[in-house]
Structure 1
Amino acid sequence: MTTAHPADPAVRPDLAVRRFVLVAVWLPVALVAIGAAVQLVLLPQMPPTIAVHWNATGEADRFAPAWIQPLMTVAFGLGLPLLLALTSLAALRRGDRGSTYRLLGATAAALSALVAVGFTWTFAMQAGSAETAGAATVWAALIAAFAAAGVVGMAAWFAQPRQEAPDAAPRPATPLPIGANERVLWIRSTSMVPGAAIAIVAAVLAIGAAAAVAWVTGADPILVAFLGGLAALLLVFAATTLAFRVRVDSAGLHVTSVLGIPRFHVPLADIASAARVEVAPVAEFGGWGLRLGTERRFGVVLRAGEAIEVVRRNGRRFVVTVDDAETGAALLEALVERAAARS
């Protein structure tokens, strides 16, 4: 008789979810709450203005009212960790598994530790100072913050059970019935989710404005060139990745930006199978756009939800989020089946 390990997801299907919530939600809340509480206790001892930024030599170069630091600790210490957690939980609860989710849980915990320790240390080292200019250098705080992030991240990783994806390859779609000589075509358009598109456009405008201000105020030419180049790069990225056309025909799967580039083509002869899958962009690909994922996946990931996933004959997988993915995948399966029957 075989005895299953108690941490086996097959025996405790909710264990991965509960441990993920523990390290990605409750641990960040606890760490940030402790850090913010310490800062509030020290607040009466702080000068009215404190150092909040240090240059490359470790010397303070930006300052703000002391009461801002506890607020920033909560905002930065919980903002990104909770975003990672909340965008992953839905997929975990529906049964998705894999090392990506375990890594995201550990990352959320590590980020909260980094912020809580770093912000609290830099706050505490200025307590009792009569003048902000006398604030100590930041190196000890940085070392402590990164060390805490490393320790907490590793602990959070090992606190979660090993998460094996139940199906490494998706189940192929049921082929559509098509005639031996019938010509078929399936076309859809897909665009980036509005929130992500707005964020990209806002980033382009913000960096472009920063470059313009730097140029007008006579800033270092290297800084102006860097900001200008970054704004141009983001503009190209936005223009070429906000919307795509997806086409299935006898030549295979074609995914092309509305501007013509970039374009991706998976030939019919290279397709082992096609399926409709559900995609969680942050959890599975780390975000939106042209993304690399685990398990040899590459995706044109513009939103959450249904997508066509093609498994190539070499095992690599191509994903594109698009409406009516079931029909597109079923047509690809039919075309692959017909091509095999002809050979």
Structure 2
Amino acid sequence: MKHRVIDPAGAFFGLLIPVLCALGGVVLTTLWDPRLPDKIATHWSMTSADGFATPTTSAWTFALLTILFGAGLSAIAALAPAMLMMRRFMIVLGLIVVGIITGGQVASLHAQLDVVDPSAVPAPIGALAAGALGGCVVGLLGASLLRDYRQRTAATEAPNRALPRSDAALPITDDVGFSTKGSVIFGLIMAAPGIILGLVSSAWFLALFLVLAVFCVTLVRFRVVVDTTEIKVFNMGMPAMTYGVDEVVGAKVAEIKPFADFGGWGLKSKGRRNYGIVTRTGPAVVITFAGGDKLTVTTPKADDIAGALNSLADARSS
């Protein structure tokens, strides 16, 4: 595939959209400024507004937050050589943040038009939830348009003879990560603050945290497919990592403890170009590629995958 430095879709969704949202907030505030109080509410406690600023100060503060935290997260999507799965995660997360900030800003401004006492204006919780959902949808659209521009390097030698071989039937597929039951429990844990706040304050908190919980659950659910030509890892319903069998230098089986070996669960990086999809303690297939990448996947099918890949690499070399 042609070498690229910038992914056009990543630049549009990861950089241009956050910047347009940031500038749009400034423009909107300027247009509405004659109808706004001298100082508008910018922060709320559980019961009432407790932070105020001039409209201009508020507008530029929101713009700065949008660029620093929204674009700061999603900007990696524009870097074509970066790992596709990481770019997809970050563009969705970044645009959720952009949506939350933009939704809250627009709703709070609108609620304070022609208002004398801004301290009586309620917090824009509904707009935060709607913004998170909208940002997630736009982020997923952007993620689906990203492409893998990774440079591929073909291996030139057969795997070490000490590595396992097998004649396991291909393709080999495995759903890697939390089970459905585990995903539900994990999602409930992530949504728990929203459930509590929804009961004592506003039901919109529940909607906001549910969006974030669903996104977090996707970080620990993957599908791995190994066939005669490729190793593919699917996430969010999309192929997120693809390596050719012709790139395989060798594959081995190792015992992995997610926290001890990679610092946690999910998609992890341990040093440069050393990636792990680690979602359980136990056997894992560790695949080394000619381009310098290493991929570790925790799976009970580690022996079959490692053996099949080494056998395929033998056939390639011969």
Q: Which structure is larger by alpha-carbon Rg, 1 or 2?
A: 1
TM-score (norm 1): 0.44
